[in-house]
Structure 1
């Protein structure tokens, strides 16, 4: 369940309640291109642990941002697809992605000090 604060006129509390954490925005970024299996997401994201990735995927599914599709096959086949609702969130995050690319060198330089 997503917890939110008081109605302050700014929806950041709502947005961060859904995407809070380091990995959820990256999950959404990688799912924009289409459905991905767990292993594909893990490779695309990199250093996230399996436990944390599973937890983050479950939370995004519970929020209606993505769909977990289990094909009930042996060996197991499960993939994740972003919902239309999730696409609106991913699109809202894209300016932050662009900002990060444009300012990467400056942020990395200040972090190295």
Structure 2
């Protein structure tokens, strides 16, 4: 993905970098520790390996994700958030996640949250979730 040259606002750049179905989910899955490609693919329902690799490549190009290949056989590769831009973007993703949780609680869709083990507050007060 190429960044446009003409913008009316810096937010457009961030939007272009993060647009799409998978990038926020990928960043959210990388929040705790480096993850192998196969583990990342298993943790994201519905994503193909081809799409995952494409999205990871774009996230790397924009400085949000690092890729570390280990020596030896079998080939082992791990992906992680960059300590600067990746971690900062994760903050925005966490806020979006919490807004989604709040709306699901308001709409009585807590069975899904319970099944996924996502923390929420029954009294409507925000609660940190992971």
Q: 2:7·2:13 contact (CA, 8 Å) conserved in 1?
A: no
Cα deviation code 1:10-58 (max 9, x no counterpart): x331111111111100010011101000011111111101100000000
- Cross-structure match for 1:46: 45
* Equivalence map 1:70-109=2 (5 Å): 70-84=69-83, 85-104=85-104, 106=107
Between the aligned partners of 1:88 and 1:102, the Cα distance in structure 2 is 22
Cα deviation for residue 5 of structure 1 reads 4.3
Give the helix-richer structure, 1 or 2: 1
* Larger RCO, structures 1/2 (Cα 8 Å, 6+ apart): 1
| Distance (whole Å) between structure 1 residues aligned to residue 21 and residue 4 of structure 2 | 18
* CA 98–5 in structure 1, closer or farther in 2 if over 3 Å, else same: farther
- Residue 3 (structure 2) aligns with: 2
Q: Which runs of 4+ in 1 moved over 4 A?
A: none
* Equivalent residues of 1:4, 1:14 under 8 A apart: no
The separation in 2 between residues aligned to 1:51 and 1:104, in whole angstroms, is 31
What's the TM-score, normalizing by structure 2?
0.74
Closer, same or farther in 2 for the Cα pair 1:55/1:5, shift >3 Å?
same
Distance 1:101 1:56, change over 3 A: same
Q: Number of matched residues?
A: 106
Mean CA deviation greater in 93-102 or 55-64: 93-102
Give the deviation of 1:4 after TM superposition.
5.7
Q: Distance in 1 between matches of 2:55 and 2:68?
A: 16
Match of 2:11 in 1: 12
CA RMSD of aligned residues (A): 1.9
